[in-house]
Structure 1
């Protein structure tokens, strides 16, 4: 597509949510989504990614499909990608980078986000809905839907009502020792409703719920009628009120300025999720590990994880890093990072890559190791793609350098807070 034609098309695009489709003849080349179509499409005028440049030159047309808000755009985009398998969506991503909502095939299904749609969860088969291009937006969508259609996230049965039950985030049936058949039927109703919402069947679902509400009123089951009415109101609020999505849009609008500079420096195709690992202990006592997560250069504390060291004796930080990374990578339901950051140098990178090799991820996830001076200040980095050569931090763009240091500091803060907690608990015991 010629540049002047593209610019004219972008001028006609609204500043609204929707999906956009690049095509050549009858063939769809790429499907994307945006909260602001005009602003998003401006990035295609002078793209940095060579693949995008090739796609734009190859395209003969560009159309939009409107959506009510960013959640609807996310679901609509997922449907189009699944149906048409556009050439450049496949080229620019793989299954590990797409997000899927996974439903476990058990008596009371659990829901989690995964990048491996054909994997298992605790030996249970899963049914995957997707693909979705943004894991964060999918996570928030499930969070909103759970308020309307509660479901279980407990890792094992405990024969009692859990905290989520008391917060109205779980029906509570799943944890009971002897749940009744009617309990499962009501639970599956919630699960199926969430599947309907994520596959674009919102209108059909709401129409069905309205019929149920009327029927309950005629049967004088006013409690059920009121509950159904509240669910309908909640759904309509999620999918029509832009304020609900304000947090999602703001997150991407205030993306860290260092993330793009760091991506360019590392020559990565994408840099959405960074995981930084840190160890805290004194001569091996109360040894803990932390995983701090940054999405688009911003800390996402909901994704943080702590690890109490189990297998390593003594003060061996490298072995501890290997342990916590192994435990982390076993969680295939957690999104894989685009970059791993650790303290250390060549030896630490080698240790981490030996773990990556066990999971066949060496080529997929690069590692950045930060070395420190006598004052424990970062001064050089090693990169797994060129592990024999260090790079001085002062030689890196200031925004990228500051992001690396901020990520490292946050992981250390998180690790030492858990260490202090374990130390205090031991002292009080």
Structure 2
């Protein structure tokens, strides 16, 4: 890199603590920590030694990761040096590093504590307190039933092991749990390590209260101690609490304006606890549109088809009389806090908004290799069927390298045993909806097709026929070869941009198989024989309870809570099941 390029890169960085890496392609040359990322990286524009000057010359790019504290930066730097062994870092000769927790890259992921994550695994950390981490890992296994065994022990089993008997594993090895349900449980662990304390704390609290009510006081005390550790894990001393004067549901919005677009971050709380966080990209037709205009447009469009919160906290007034009148008529309290706890929540939402771009460089590397802009929004497609019956298609969305599940869509397709025709139909449906303005989602930067050259050609023909201009690639599972309309790539198995495509491809496959299985269960279930239960009500019941067994175990009150299920129908269900 030239010194001018270093200064330009430094100017784009924040003044927060974090870790920076000098990269030569995928190879890490140097890892460093900083109290102020901008100042520290800028210092490399004037190297003070020949060794540092040589390192800067060799580097092609600089990547950064923002942390909340200097301590987190220190721990992350130590683990990155251990993992990558950069040429220009001073490296310790022992094996000590701080522990991480990983979810392995398997059909049924394994959760384990490690100092050296597996290739393709999703790793969280580093953490300083291994004892605390072990308690959290065991709590996750008790609640979600994730396996902890090695691949050798997992394979070729004919009966569950002792972990299943102890309530620590759902035994996917012997088919005691299906892949879709297991994936939902993996998502619980992911949500917790992403910072959503309540994802794990709430099931533990419910189990503790049940044990206390049953006078199993030793068990309740054990769960109480475990709950205390879980609540303190993310450094909050408990669940992230949003004190808003007793409001039941609160949304906090933050905005980061970036050229001709903006990122809106939303923090969502229920019952005073932070339960969800997401980010959304907003396109602004006029460069220079301010935060008030962006907020007005976002609130109107986002909540048009979603439930409104009781309270909406904004960084600035939306400056739209019509919007404020609508919110007032709907009973939503709109507040722009100036100080105190609510103001700090706005600051947190703003910080999340500014974390918009993909930080690990995968999207940047993918764009460079394909000759397109870095794809921030990627959609993945797959088709699933059983010999041409119950044909379905999936459309999943990743934004900044993370699943955006509220934007997932699925499509029932005509029954035929032709994968290419099915893919053509799926992409025609997506392209026509986008061009006709019937799809409220933003257009993607890249389409990823699960399959080989044949599926890619079918998808390309569909979008060209519709007149939709979006880059498209395909990725088949066998050889992991990436196909584009005019060439193919065989990337290294540890390439970060290949991992990004694999995650999108695998999620599209999982979502398609899950929907296909739901339809197969739907048509074969005993619910068909229950008077008054048609396809729409069956679908609602399966969405709420997951399976026939879940419906059978539901109380009358739980059945009545499902839209369309009245007292007479609930009574028939309980009699029949």
Structure of larger gyration radius: 2
Using the size of structure 1 for normalisation, the TM-score is 0.49
Q: Which structure is richer in relative contact order (CA contacts within 8 A, separation 6 or more)?
A: 1
Give TM-score scaled by structure 2 length: 0.38
